[in-house]
Amino acid sequence: MRRALSLAAHGPATGINPQVGCVLVDTDGTIVAEGWHRGAGTPHAEVDALSRVHTNGAAAGIPPGLTAIVTLEPCNHEGLTGPCSEALITAGVERVVYAVSDPGEHSSGGAERLREAGVLVDAGVLAEEASEAMRIWLTATRLRRPFVTMKWASSLDGRVAAVDGSSKWITGTAARQRVHEQREQSDAILVGTGTVLADDPGLTARGDGGELMPHQPIPVVIGERAVDASARVFRHPQTPIITGTRDLPAILADLFERGIRHAFVEGGPTLASAFVTAGLVDEYLVYLAPVLLGGDQSALTDIGVGSIGEARRLSIDSVERLGDDLLVVARPVPVGAVDGKKDT
């Protein structure tokens, strides 16, 4: 299963499909083929692996007794490709071992179909590791909205700008380049109309030399104010989405229907605070620069916390040094958790 997880990581991190890997082993436990999903419209991991089976140079035929080890429950629906459950049954695979059940509204049910056909099925192998690897896709699929990553850069005292509003640049080049890499790993980049009107950002993902990276997130502008047609966002390689509303749940639901599974929020304090208050943030990326600014230009405004007991607790995933700056990666602590762990 760990080999299948490493194969899955070769697939694209963006788009509507999860990263999935598959390993086929024979009755002796020898790997006979491997596969992974390469993106929408391409063969799923199981079919990719089956297509790579070779039997001593034979022109056709799949050896009997194969076990398929796959990171996600084989799908059971007809989409851009056929159901993997049927492909495994047709190929005569005798056993399927998978890590995580498919939460998809239309794609789940593969395990049940396999069992109906007489295939031995085992679930939950390395489920925790696989769930973490697929956290973005699983969260989006279960909640029917994109996984939301919130990013801001601030001084050590939590300010995103000086008293006069200037903020360019709080962090150094290494931190800023990491942000561009994170943009590229997202399906969409979300900002408020205030940011667009004040800063006129390009919202592209760029390399060290300023060149456009291969994947560009779709720019999404949230708010009710009009955006002038001359704004740089309209010159983005992707057609921008102008929401015309501040209804965050409705916006996220619409983005999900458009195939967006990972939203990268880079708005100012007003938009950031709205997402936090609504409980719509799944991951925080906080860049901290070794400077002090003072004043009232805080990263967040009112988020509905009236006392320390109402504080929104976070669990720190990692802390990384980027030049003189720090990147703190954190996620919300679930309600009912104690010290970052679920209260049982």
Residues labelled catalytic: 46
Q: Which two tokens stand for residue 335?
A: 């309600």
Question: Across 167-249, where does the E strand assignment appear?
Answer: 188-192, 218-222, 241-242
Nearest to 67, CA basis, from 130, 8, 3, 128? 3
Chain centre to alpha carbon of residue 264: 9
Q: How many other C-beta atoms lie within 10 A of the C-beta of residue 296?
A: 8
**3-class secondary-structure state, position 115:** helix
Query: Could you tell me the sign of the dihedral formed by the alpha carbons of 105, 110, 112, 113, in that order?
Result: positive
Distance CA 90, CA 72 (A): 19
Contact 281, 274 (CB under 8 A): no
28: burial class by Cβ within 10 Å (0-12, 13-18, 19+)?
exposed
Distance CA 118, CA 100 (A): 20
Query: Could you tell me the sign of the dihedral formed by the alpha carbons of 44, 49, 50, 52, in that order?
Result: positive
